[in-house]
């Protein structure tokens, strides 16, 4: 009778452990749906002008890509903690020697050889192997942190480019609209002179044709401005509708004032590949540790009828490596090959980034010189031509067509300067935010 009570207690303990292992513990977080993310309140428009630094701050606050990489790093760090622990013990519930036929078929109590048992087993993973497994996830966390830096670099570059595109396209549009107003006045004056018999009607048609062409340029520029506005809204939300405050010095770049070959070693993509190589080497160490088998120990307590002794079973097991050359050694070789792959990719990517960044720097510096030429000679010359054509027209020694052509050239020169400024600003953003300041510190 006492044996039955012991078996009942063991069964209850086993059932409690089963419930705890399957229904207890930490609950998973609720799913964060795309609809919930899109329904989140947008960043409101700022009260004053939106500066580039504030735009970058707002973009980082609402970036899901940065949050994703932070979560990946945290997940890997948590995995590293878990990998450093022993595996969970296994609960074993067993009924053996059940009659399969005869009058006692499937009875759990009729036959004296039928035993009901409960046991537990534990695999004792060696500390060196657990440390190596934990190190793999730690390296994966560093890869995720490097990916976060890359996401920051791309976010800041994209935000700055969209911001500066809108700044210069807005200036282009304002310039075109001011010319539109001036040209409309010129049409009115030409029409009045024609009606007074002091100018030919061709002057009126010429001016109206010029106005039509200008309208097309206004429409094209407005479309480009709308696209830039949409790009900026993608990064900063509703704050993109605020007035912008351009306070960027395109002549200075943090990357342009340092040793480029040395600085590119801090490029987030290169850091990510360096960490990927470290993770592959850490995985190779795990495969090397797995060449030494771990032992699993078990204990089983079983009982039969009340007139029979209760039984205790002890056991130990471990895998037998029958062909390490074809299995374990190949796994180590594969991990080392992945590390070599990451190393080669990092070298090749470094060369690519170095060449590309040099091109950016050279084009940026060339554009700065061209902008200086615009300010010092090209625009002043077109202004002088416009004034000379206008003076000649007023003195009846020139034509309206010459005035319009001079103004068109001056307008084209100013628009071209703004276009080069916009291209220079995009290059400046590429250089300025290529390497996040978090890496440079």
Residue with the bigger pLDDT between 441 and 417: it is 417
Does 193 score more than 50 pLDDT? yes
Question: Tens digits of per-residue pLDDT, 104-156?
Answer: 787 877 777 888 899 999 999 999 999 999 999 999 999 999 999 999 999 99
- DSSP readout, 172-225? HHHHHHHHHHHHHHHHHHHHHHHHTTSS-HHHHHHHHHHHHHHHHHHHHHHHHH
Which of the four pLDDT bands, split at 50, 70 and 90, describes residue 194? confident
What is the mean pLDDT of the segment spanning 210-235? 92
pLDDT at position 91: 92
Does 15 score more than 80 pLDDT? no
What is the mean pLDDT of the segment spanning 235-242? 90
Mean pLDDT of the chain: 84
Domain 2-26+54-436, CATH 1.10.3720.10 — does that match? no
Q: What is the pTM of this model?
A: 0.78
Which of the four pLDDT bands, split at 50, 70 and 90, describes residue 8? very low
Max CA pair span of the chain = 135
Does 271 score more than 70 pLDDT? yes
What is the mean pLDDT of the segment spanning 400-411? 85
pLDDT at position 222: 95
pLDDT at position 6: 46
What is the mean pLDDT of the segment spanning 401-411? 85
**CB-based burial of residue 93 (10 Å sphere; 0-12 exposed, 13-18 middle, 19+ buried)?**
middle
Range of weakest confidence among 305-319, 345-359, 392-406: 392-406
**Beta strands 50-51 and 311-317, pairing class:** unpaired
pLDDT at position 20: 47
Give the Cα separation of 19 and 271 in Å (integer): 46
pLDDT at position 1: 45
CB 270 within 8 A of CB 353: yes
Question: Tens digits of per-residue pLDDT, 287-310?
Answer: 989 888 899 999 999 887 777 888
Sequence spans of domains, the chain: 2-26+54-436
Q: What percent of the chain has pLDDT above 70?
A: 88
pLDDT at position 256: 61
73 torsion bin: left (phi>0), alpha (psi -120 to 50), beta (else): alpha
């Amino acid at each position: 009778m006492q044996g039955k009570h012991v078996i009942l207690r063991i069964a209850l303990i086993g059932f409690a452990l089963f419930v705890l292992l399957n229904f207890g513990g930490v609950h998973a977080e609720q799913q964060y749906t795309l609809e919930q993310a899109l329904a989140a309140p947008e960043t409101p428009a700022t009260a004053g002008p939106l500066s580039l630094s504030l735009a970058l701050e707002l973009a980082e606050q609402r970036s899901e890509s940065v949050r994703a990489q932070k979560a990946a790093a945290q997940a890997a760090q948590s995995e590293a903690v878990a990998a450093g622990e022993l595996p969970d013990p296994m609960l074993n519930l067993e009924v053996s020697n059940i009659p399969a036929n005869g009058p006692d078929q499937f009875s759990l109590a009729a036959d004296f050889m039928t035993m009901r048992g409960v046991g537990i087993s534990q695999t004792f993973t060696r500390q060196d192997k657990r440390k190596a497994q934990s190190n793999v996830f730690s390296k994966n966390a560093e890869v995720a942190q490097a990916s976060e830096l890359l996401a920051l670099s791309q976010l800041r570059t994209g935000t700055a480019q969209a911001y500066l595109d809108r700044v210069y396209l807005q200036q282009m549009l304002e310039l075109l609209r001011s010319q539109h107003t001036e040209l409309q006045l010129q049409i009115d004056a030409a029409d009045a002179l024609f009606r007074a018999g002091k100018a030919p009607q061709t002057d009126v048609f010429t001016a109206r044709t010029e106005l039509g062409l200008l309208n097309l340029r206004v429409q094209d520029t407005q479309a480009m401005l709308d696209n830039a506005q949409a790009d900026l809204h993608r990064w900063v939300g509703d704050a993109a509708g605020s007035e912008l405050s351009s306070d960027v010095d395109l002549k200075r770049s943090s990357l342009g004032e340092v040793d480029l070959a040395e600085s590119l070693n801090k490029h987030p993509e290169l850091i990510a590949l360096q960490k990927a190589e470290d993770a592959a080497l850490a995985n190779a160490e795990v495969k090397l540790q797995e060449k030494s088998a771990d032992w699993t120990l078990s204990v089983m307590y079983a009982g039969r009828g009340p007139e029979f002794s209760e039984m205790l079973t002890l056991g130990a097991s471990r895998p037998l490596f029958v062909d390490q050359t074809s299995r374990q050694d190949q796994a180590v070789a594969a991990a080392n090959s992945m590390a070599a792959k990451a190393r080669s990719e990092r070298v090749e990517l470094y060369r690519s980034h170095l060449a590309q960044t040099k091109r950016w720097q050279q084009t940026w510096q060339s554009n700065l010189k061209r902008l200086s030429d615009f300010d010092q000679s090209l625009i002043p010359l077109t202004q002088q031509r416009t004034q000379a054509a206008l003076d000649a027209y007023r003195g009846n020694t020139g034509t309206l067509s010459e005035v319009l052509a001079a103004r068109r050239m001056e307008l084209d020169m100013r628009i071209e300067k703004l276009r080069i400024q916009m291209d220079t600003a995009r290059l400046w953003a590429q250089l300025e935010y290529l390497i996040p300041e978090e890496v440079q510190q």
